[in-house]
Structure 1
Amino acid sequence: MNNASTLPNLVDVVLQGGPTRIERFQSVDDHSVSYGKIKIPFGAGYEHFERVSGDDLVFAWTMRTKIAE
């Protein structure tokens, strides 16, 4: 059985803004990139980023949400 079709395709992106300790280069699934919004788990929450206009692989921080308990 070949599971290759179930694995996400990863794309390298650059993050701008957000927490200073978050890695600025991340690999995320290509579906999120095509949607224009990505969510990165960080600490006890998620950091949200949206695509920067004019650059497909650069995302700017927009907000933080907490993980529901």
Structure 2
Amino acid sequence: MKDFSQADPVARDVAGVIDAVLEGGPADLPADLRSHRVARAEEKIKVRHYGGYEHFERGNAPDTADVPVVFRWTGRTRIAE
């Protein structure tokens, strides 16, 4: 997954970057990890959290420019050692 949040505004618009919010998952997942800027085509988001990854998948909500797309928690995996 590419993070376009630091790209210049023109590059973000061309790339089709959208706002995304993460719903569900562990209650102790920090609020600052629950919002992202991702490519419009992105279907999954993986967030590193306490020795593992929390996995989120895109919901079926309509994709409009002024409303963030919701990604719902689907599970957790541990980081291999």
Q: Partners of 1:35 and 1:13 in 2: how far apart? A: 10
The answer to whether residue 4 in structure 2 is matched with residue 9 in structure 1 is yes
Equivalent residue, structure 2, for 1:64: 76
Equivalent residue, structure 2, for 1:27: 36
More strand by percentage: 1
Indicate the RMSD between aligned Cα atoms, in angstroms.
2.2
Q: How far has the Cα of 1:27 moved from its partner?
A: 2.1
Q: Partners of 1:23 and 1:48 in 2: how far apart? A: 15
TM-score (ref. length: structure 2): 0.61
- Count residues in correspondence: 61
* Identity of matched residues, %: 43
Q: How far has the Cα of 1:55 moved from its partner?
A: 4.0
Residues 1:41 and 1:55: Cα distance change in structure 2 (over 3 Å):
farther
Equivalent residue, structure 2, for 1:47: 54
Residues 1:41 and 1:28: Cα distance change in structure 2 (over 3 Å):
farther
